[in-house]
Structure 1
Amino acid sequence: MTTTVVVVGGGYAGVLAANRLSQRSDTDIVMVNPRPHFVERIRLHQLVAGNDDAVQDYATVLTDRAKLVVDSATRIDAASRQLHLASGATMGYDYLVYAVGSTAPLPDAVPGARDHAVPLGEYEAAQRLTQRLSDVPLQAPIVVVGGGLTGIEAASEFAEAGRRVTLVTGALGPSLAKGGRRSVAKRLKMLGVNVVENATVTQVHADRITLRDGTDLPSAATVWTAGFGVPNLAAASGLTTDRLGRLLTDETLTSVDDSSIIAAGDAASPSGVPLRMSCQLAMPLASHAADTLLARLEGKKPTNLNPASVGQCISLGRHAGTIQMSHFNDVAMPMHLGGRLAATIKEQVCKGTVSFLTKEARKPGSYSWPKGGKRQKNLQKGAAHV
């Protein structure tokens, strides 16, 4: 008997899960995605800077066993196992892999942000930002809001392209250890980026931003990189989510509401203690989600999640970077690499990510990732560092 699996989302997690599921010849795999091409989200800052298009053809990265449906999911009817699409169509499933990823929302609480700021975390937003910056002279000041990895990479890329950049943040690189943070700060200074820390943006105007202390900073274009969100599909479908809207699952990544729904990537919240939203961890989650589904099809008991983190790779323009080493539980350790070597490693990681997907499409089951994050032990202690 053929099993129909619908994968909702065609990002890193969705593609890897679909590819891995193709190990079984008795599965019909359908992937639903609103775009006809695969987006390399970790290269969106390069798209805006004009040195990469940040896309791949699905023919390259997706198994030919999967049928791609270019549409958007609007509701999951778990009771009848039906997925409703924006086009008005519906599709039935035996299993559904929830891999909708994350979003880069603009804050409603900051006046003017929705009118005058542009986010960077999604392809369409990056295209809008590219168009916006095409009308902004290089010498005009721009502001990047958010000092996480996305903000750091964006500020570096734009400054290396010759732009006058101010990076506004509460803390620079909060996920980094002290040495890694110094490495990033040094490179930003070399690129001429003005870093304003311990700052909160209270209003965004067409030509400036206002900080909590009343300071105005000129900005011909404001790029918003602070914070992640997730699509509201799970919540809108009546499924149990965490406070951010991620699908709540057990440690096998199975929905707490329905055993036919399995989550992967940024939109999964196992035990209400989700992992850091990142490409690095989305792919091991996708692999585990697929393995959970495959185990069920084989009548076996799925195993619990236990991925190991290995670090954070940050590009600081095309000629430098910082590689922050981490413990397996994703806590930064006092060890990093910087400079041109780090830039080379980061580029190889970006290329390697696509290579992992391509290899899994051609040889399903080949993808592997270190384990040993001691997640289960930390959960039992109530002190998981994820």
Structure 2
Amino acid sequence: MNENLDVVVIGGGYAGVMAANRLTQRDGVTVTLINPRPDFVHRIRLHQLVAGNDTAVVAYRDVLAEGVRLRVDTATRIDAADRTVTVASGDSVGYDYLVYAVGSGSADPGVPGAAEFAYPIATFEDAERLRPALDAAPATAPVTVVGAGPTGIETAAELAEQGRAVTLVCGGVLGPYLHTRGRRSVAKRLARLGVTVIDGSDAKVTAVTRDSVRLADGRELPSEVTIWTAGFGVPDLAARSGLSTDSLGRLLTDETLTSVDDVRIIAAGDSAAPSGLPLRMSCQAAMPLGARAADTVLSRIAGAQPEALNQVFGAQCISLGRGDGIFQFANRFDAAVWFNIDGRPGAKLKELVCKVVVKHLAEEAHKPGGYKLHRSARGGTRQELVRAARGEAQVVAEGAARPVLAGAGLPVFDEVTATP
């Protein structure tokens, strides 16, 4: 094929940057990355931005291939028939293939007063709005963190380590992903930091006011700053553009990440719902999905059949301040197992992960096609789950598979909170 092809990537996060970099390995392909920010947001450090000990940004020149054209703008509509993307500045950008990697952000809390008085932390802009509120509050002022997934735990620990009076309202169990043993370790560390943890069935927020948080059991907690980390949503760009989405607005695709509506549109990251069974929202999923999306585009350009997903998970890591953390191992069904590494070694592992993520992106920028982690030998697990969801096969070790299937939205299994 001698003609030049234009590939547009919408979204410059973990998935979008990985996809854009990888696409540059083929001659005759022009890659344009559309992103509303001029810098890469290292999202798994946003809790550190809030605490003031990291900027949570990396210059695109350090992670983006030289051959990628960065356009700082916001995509407002996709016209699949005309193969164009309209941006906020009013221009239209044409494409032959489109990678949809718009990521995720805060979901509507659906709790009276939360949208007005609570601060989300899911995006860079959210974190930047929160910083001045914390700076203006006295050091002894009560701070409430709502949501006890990794983001909530990390934020509570980071602020408590600075001497803040922090209450963590779980809305259920502390660290839903964690094994019981790992949960005990996290609870002990939070207690040492002085964090008050409120968990259990009554630990659900029913209202937020300017200076308090109300719980389902009638308690009213004083709160000068309330931070909301419970729940994630995705931009509605796909839905507004007339593309098929799931109930949260994620683009529906097949197992090659190709849109069910248009073979020229491929999704990656938190905004993708392959087979209606989206993966756990995390950078651990986003980068391999970005690589897989790029491979699908390159296969279609070459006239070859794209490979199906074989995504795997192996762990979840959580920082607990600057000197402590936990690295929670999981089995092939992404269910936490008894083994974890905590304490200072856990903190070092989490910091290593944060650095390795950027390293992977930078390496793919310098040597496109070098990333291999989306081709795991254990990847057959994903297809087992897809077949089970379709009723074509019974997944072995049903108890171990429950968290993954529940996170995928299947109602017959236990509740799971999937957060980055």
- One of 284, 302, 306 as aligned partner of 2:306: 302
Q: How does 1:66-105 map to 2 (within 5 A)?
A: 66-105=68-107
> Hey, what's the Cα distance between the residues in 1 that align with 2:377 and 2:133?
43
In structure 1, C-alpha distance between the alignment counterparts of 2:295 and 2:213, rounded to whole Å = 47
Instruction: Tell me which residue corresponds to 1:289.
Output: 293
Instruction: Output the amino acid matched with 1:140.
Output: A
TM-score, length-scaled by structure 2: 0.90
Other-structure match for 1:340: 344
> Equivalent residue for 1:266?
270
Question: C-alpha displacement at 1:180, in angstroms?
Answer: 1.2
Post-superposition CA distance 1:150-189 (Å, at most 9, x none): 0000000000111000000121100111111111111111
| Partners of 1:3 and 1:28 within 8 A in 2 | yes
Cα distance in structure 1, aligned partners of 2:249 and 2:93: 23
Q: Report the Cα offset of residue 378 of structure 1.
A: 2.0
> Deviation above 4 Å: which 4+ runs of structure 1?
none
Residues 313 and 324, structure 1, Cα contact 8 Å, conserved in 2: yes
CA deviation map 1:295-343 (0-9, x unaligned): 1111111011011111001000000001000112212112111000010
Residue identity opposite 1:121 in structure 2: A
1:143 — aligned with what? 144
* Aligned partner of 2:388 among 367, 377, 381: 381
Q: CA deviation at 1:49?
A: 0.6
Aligned to 2:130, the other structure's residue is in SS state helix
| Residue 349 in structure 1 maps to residue 353 in structure 2 | yes
The structural deviation recorded for 1:117 is: 0.3
Partner SS state of residue 176, structure 2: coil
How far apart are the structure 2 equivalents of 1:295 and 1:180? 42
Q: Which residue of 2 aligns with 1:11?
A: 13
Q: Distance in 2 between matches of 1:115 and 1:379?
A: 40
CA drift of 1:196 comes to 0.3
1:334 alignment partner, SS class = strand
Which residue identity lines up with residue 194 of structure 2 in the other structure?
A: G
- The answer on 1:41 being equivalent to 2:81 is no
Distance in 2 of aligned mates of 1:329 and 1:22: 33
Distance in structure 1 (CA, Å) of the matches to 2:49 and 2:388: 43
In the TM superposition, residue 228 of structure 1 has moved relative to its aligned partner by: 0.6
CA distance in 2, matches of 1:116, 1:217: 14
Corresponding residue number in structure 1 for 2:120: 119
Matched, 1:228 2:228: no
2:27 counterpart of 1:25: yes
| Matched pairs, number | 385
Please tell me whether residue 372 in structure 1 is matched to residue 359 in structure 2. no
Render the CA deviation track for 1:170-222: whole Å, top value 9, x for unaligned. 21100111111111111111101000002110110111111111100010100
Instruction: Select 1:255's aligned residue among 251, 256, 259.
Output: 259
CA distance in 1, matches of 2:133, 2:176: 29
Matched residue, 1:238: 242
Quote the Cα distance in structure 2 between the aligned partners of 1:103 and 1:241.
Answer: 16
* 1:209 has 2:210 as partner: no
Distance 1:180 1:23 in 2: 42
Amino acid of the residue matched to residue 73 of structure 2?
A: D
Q: Does 1:129 align with 2:135?
A: no
SS at match of 2:233: coil
TM-score, normalising length: structure 1: 0.98
Q: Hey, what's the Cα distance between the residues in 2 that align with 1:98 and 1:305?
A: 16
What's the counterpart of residue 311 of structure 1?
315
Aligned partner of 2:123: which letter? E
Tell me the SS of whatever aligns to 2:281: coil
Q: Measure the CA separation in 1 of the matches of 2:185 and 2:128.
A: 30
Match of 2:53 among 46, 51, 54: 51
- Correspondence for 1:361: 365
Unaligned runs of 5+ in 2: 390-394, 396-400, 409-420
Give the Cα separation in 1 of the matches to 2:43 and 2:166: 22
Give the 3-state SS of the residue equivalent to 1:381 in structure 2. Answer: helix
Alignment of 1:150-165 (within 5 A): 150-165=151-166
Q: Output one character per residue of 1:94-121: Cα deviation in whole Å (capped at 9) or x when no partner.
A: 00000000011341x2111111100011
C-alpha deviation, 1:371, in angstroms: 4.2
Q: Amino acid of the residue matched to residue 54 of structure 1?
A: A
Give the gaps of 5 or more residues in structure 1. none
Aligned to 1:196: 198
CA–CA distance in 1 between the matches of 2:337 and 2:261?
A: 37
For residues 207 and 124 of structure 1, the distance between their equivalents in structure 2, rounded to whole angstroms, comes to: 23
Superposition deviation, residue 380 in structure 1? 1.0
Q: Which residue of 2 aligns with 1:62?
A: 64
Deviates more, 1:177-186 or 1:335-344: 177-186
